[in-house]
């Protein structure tokens, strides 16, 4: 398909050198397109909001590819589609015309059409189709930045090995926009297109909504990332880390590091944070902790000062942060600005490498995470995966994390079983997965009791824009 471009522009009553110097300052700071980044240099993470093709502004998440001071900033982006944006600074009428040109490939065009309510479709195919429901827009899009890349890498590799039954597997992707209702509509679209298995890498609220909406469909749903469980059934698999296990693996070490045992619970107001807080109320007191407060904020919140002030008014030593995606990054940056880091450590079970890059090296001091996978995991299988990923998508592609790498592993698990029983047999696939031991980049994974993935968990500490392992 020929490459398309979308254009947008804004005029600013300041010379190019002033407009350029404000790049990354965000909304309300005098810069167009609400661009946010800490430093204008190749490789630096960046996001911006551009009015492209109607339907409201599109949030673009990527990294700076090239810079020509006061003249050009080029951005390679992975969300909501993979492409490139060029910003040109043109002197005009005593000010600056900022011209934005965005490349649009087939997947980007399809995303924009669905976003604007236009029909898209995939015709009948004789090849097996695997669905992926992920988060390409909305507050959760930050943690899913590498998901498409890893799913595509897995599909390319299994097709190179013969696909399923000698036929290539087709990957069809849906975007829940961090909204369960949108997720349900996208899941139904994937089912209509012939997907008998759908991998769901979204917030838990979407998985729950989709699971219930598709209760009468003969479709296997696999929740790939960390979750609270609860959606059991023959056609439901939930692989990811569970809150209770994460807390047991990390709480004692965190209390030793903090030199205190008082915890404050704070997170987004939806099912996974509430379930994690419930696990904390059940587990932490048994480990010698004291709970001193709790607050929630809606998904998409940008001013967390009421939550931070409540924490500061408490005697907390540790914050259990259950914010996700862009909300997690915004909360951590504001917590640092308001001085919370001077007295509290933070355990953020859902903090991943892509989100940490947006937190930045200064605001991430004192931040810990716990999960079954991190990009720095020193296993041979993971080192090989990281090499293949970087070879395919470049040195500045979004980092791998448990939230995205779990999709790569889920594709491989599905393929290993579907190759034996057939892609059109979701019940048999689920049965075989439940009794198979998998050697994966993160290590050995089995479904403990059929509904929970047994895996080793690692506690890590933020270090600049990456993580370093701590001793459990």
Domain residue ranges of the chain, discontinuous segments joined by +:
4-105, 113-241+389-455, 243-375+459-469
* pLDDT, tens digit (0-9, with 9 covering 90-100), for 24-62: 876 544 467 888 888 899 999 999 888 876 667 888 999
CB atoms within 10 A of CB 101: 15
**Class of the CATH-defined domain 113-241+389-455:** alpha beta
- List pLDDT tens digits, range 281-328: 999 999 999 999 999 999 999 899 999 999 999 999 999 999 998 999
Structure tokens at 33: 């397109």
Provide CATH code, domain 243-375+459-469.
Answer: 3.40.50.2300
CA distance 26 to 109: 27
CATH code of the domain occupying 4-105: 3.30.530.20
> So what's the pLDDT on residue 8?
87
Angstrom CA distances, 257 to 260, 347, 366, 424, 461, stand at 8, 11, 10, 50, 11
Output the average pLDDT for the chain.
91
Domains 113-241+389-455 and 243-375+459-469 share a fold: yes
Q: Is the pLDDT of residue 472 over 50?
A: no
CA-CA distances (angstroms) from residue 61 to 36, 83, 300? Answer: 10, 10, 16
Chain position carrying tokens 């900022």: 98
Q: Residue 367 — left, alpha, or beta (φ > 0 → left; ψ -120 to 50 → alpha)? A: beta
Q: What secondary structure does DSSP assign to 283-301, as a single string?
A: HGGGGT-EEEEEEEE-TT-
């Amino acid at each position: 398909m020929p490459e398309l471009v979308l254009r947008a522009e804004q005029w600013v009553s300041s010379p190019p050198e002033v407009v350029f110097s404000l790049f990354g300052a965000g909304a309300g700071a005098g810069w167009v397109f609400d661009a946010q980044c800490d430093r204008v240099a190749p490789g630096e993470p960046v996001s911006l909001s551009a009015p492209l093709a109607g339907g409201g502004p599109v949030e673009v998440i990527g990294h700076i590819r090239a810079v020509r001071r006061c003249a050009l900033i080029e951005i390679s982006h992975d969300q909501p589609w993979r492409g490139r944006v060029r910003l040109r600074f043109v002197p005009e009428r005593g000010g600056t015309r900022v011209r934005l040109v965005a490349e649009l490939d087939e997947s980007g065009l399809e995303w924009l059409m669905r976003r604007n309510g236009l029909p898209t479709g995939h015709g009948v195919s004789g090849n097996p189709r695997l669905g992926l429901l992920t988060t390409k827009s909305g507050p959760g899009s930050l943690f899913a930045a590498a998901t498409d890349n890893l799913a595509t890498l897995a599909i390319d590799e299994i097709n190179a090995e013969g696909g399923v039954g000698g036929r290539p597997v087709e990957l069809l992707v849906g975007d829940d926009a961090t909204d369960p209702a949108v997720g349900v509509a996208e899941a139904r679209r994937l089912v209509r297109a012939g997907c008998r298995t759908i991998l769901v890498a979204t917030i838990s609220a979407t998985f729950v909504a989709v699971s219930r909406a598709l209760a009468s469909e003969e479709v296997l749903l696999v929740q790939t990332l960390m979750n609270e469980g609860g959606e059991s059934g023959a056609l439901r698999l939930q692989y990811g880390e569970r809150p209770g296990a994460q807390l047991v693996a990390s709480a004692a070490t965190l209390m030793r590091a903090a030199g205190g045992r008082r915890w404050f619970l704070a997170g987004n107001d939806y099912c996974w944070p509430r379930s994690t807080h419930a696990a904390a109320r059940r587990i932490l007191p048994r480990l010698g902790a004291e709970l001193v407060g709790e607050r929630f904020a809606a998904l998409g919140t940008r001013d967390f000062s009421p939550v931070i002030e409540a924490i500061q008014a408490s005697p907390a030593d540790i914050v259990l942060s259950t914010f996700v995606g862009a909300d997690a990054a915004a909360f951590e940056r504001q917590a640092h600005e308001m001085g919370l880091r001077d007295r509290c450590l933070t355990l953020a079970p859902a903090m991943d490498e892509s989100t940490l890059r947006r937190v930045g090296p200064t605001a991430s001091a004192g931040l810990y995470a716990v999960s079954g996978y991190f990009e720095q995991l020193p296993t041979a299988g993971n080192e090989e995966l990281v090499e293949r990923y970087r070879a395919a998508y470049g040195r500045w592609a979004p980092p791998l994390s448990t939230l995205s790498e779990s999709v790569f592993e889920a594709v491989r698990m599905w393929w290993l079983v579907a190759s034996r029983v057939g892609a059109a047999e979701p019940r048999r696939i689920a049965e075989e997965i439940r009794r198979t031991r998998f050697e994966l980049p993160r290590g050995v994974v089995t479904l403990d009791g059929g509904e929970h993935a047994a895996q080793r968990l690692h506690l890590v500490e933020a270090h600049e824009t990456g993580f370093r392992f701590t001793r459990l």
